[in-house]
Structure 1
Amino acid sequence: MSTSRQSPDTADTSTAINTNPGLLAASWLVVGVPLVYGIYQTLLKASKLFTG
């Protein structure tokens, strides 16, 4: 009962995945815009905390 399994070092990595660049950009915008807004709001509130 031997099973033939490839280790991660020897696994076939030649499979290409095609991703629509527009979808990729839109996905990053969906994540990035709220993230940047949250960081901006955090910095504003932190500056009020430290400057009085």
Structure 2
Amino acid sequence: MSSAAEATGAATWSPVQWIGAVMAWIWVGVPFAYGLYQLVLKIPALFG
């Protein structure tokens, strides 16, 4: 018999995979957040 995780196709991640996923989100998220912040700062100049 197979387990419920195998039946649904869900896989468990190792700690190294979790660290990689978190680092990937940081790698993308921090520059995106900074760019969005800079864009919000420049919005008043469009109307001023």
Identify, as 1 or 2, the structure richer in helix: 2
Unaligned runs of 5+ in 1: 1-11
Greater displacement, 32-41 / 15-24: 15-24
Q: Which has the higher contact order (CA 8 A, sep 6+)?
A: 2
TM-score after normalising by structure 2: 0.62
Count of aligned residue pairs for this structure pair: 40
Say what the alpha-carbon RMSD is for the aligned residues: 1.8
Quick check: 1:35 aligned with 2:27? no
TM-score after normalising by structure 1: 0.58
Cross-structure match for 2:19: 22
Unaligned runs of 5+ in 2: 1-6
The superposition leaves residues 1-52 of structure 1 with CA deviations (integer Å, 9 ceiling, x where unpaired) of: xxxxxxxxxxx852636461100000000000000000000000002333x3
Larger radius of gyration: 1
Q: Which portions of structure 1, spanning 4 or more consecutive aligned residues, are displaced by more than 6 angstroms? A: none
Name the % identity: 40
Partner of 1:30, secondary structure, is helix
